[in-house]
Amino acid sequence: MFGRRYIAPIVSEFITRYPDVSVDLLLLDRVVNLVEEGLDVGVRIGHLSDSSLVAIPVGQMRRVICASPKYLRRHGTPRAPENLRTHRCVSFTAITPGNEWHFRLGRRDVAVPVVRVLSCNQVDAAMEACVKGLGLGMFLSYQVAPYRALQELRYILEDFEPAPLPVQMIYPHSKLLSTTVRAFVDVCVTALRQTGFH
């Protein structure tokens, strides 16, 4: 979804500006090894564990808890993370793979057990379940933004959100970037830093 929403338009504009360039755009919901897969550059949401990559920060992404107005009318609005024990939750497994959701209480990170009524590996299906009132969901802020703009989902527990995740352009240390790839990285960095990911 991030690639479709933010990267694909940058790629299209880049090709329009440089018509002799061709791009292979790979949009995946998994972490890839750039070197093994022969990729020049990538975008990563989250902390890097691989020190063989050059990372250029372009922003941060919030992990937000949301619910539909319909769900909140029926079940009430939780005021603190521990209230989730009595609520129904929809889990998008790329963000919340287990039976616990993580929050920040002051300077401490805490894990709160949740009752999952639906677990799904596909973000659109999980968000639609939240929109229909099946339960609360934890997603990345850019994923929720269109539903929030239409008032189909509302943020809750904002004061307890976990620390935001970094968004970074990445490429291998060992790779000498061509002029074209370097230009693409520069265009992406500039465009993504202006976005804000809401």
Largest CA distance in the chain: 58
Angle made by CA atoms 127, 41, 166, in degrees to the nearest 5: 50
Q: Has residue 47 got a pLDDT over 90?
A: no
User: In this structure, are residues 89 and 117 in contact, taking their beta carbons and an 8 Å threshold?
Assistant: yes
Q: What is the average per-residue pLDDT within 92-109?
A: 90
Separation CA 48–CA 18 (nearest Å): 31
Mean pLDDT over residues 122-141, rounded? 95
Where does the pLDDT of residue 74 fall: very low under 50, low under 70, confident under 90, or very high at 90 and above? very high
Instruction: Give pLDDT, residue 96.
Output: 86
Q: What predicted TM-score, i.e. pTM, was given to this entire model? A: 0.85
Find the mean pLDDT for residues 161-186: 87
All structural domains of the chain:
2-57+165-195 (3.40.190.10), 63-160 (3.40.190.10)
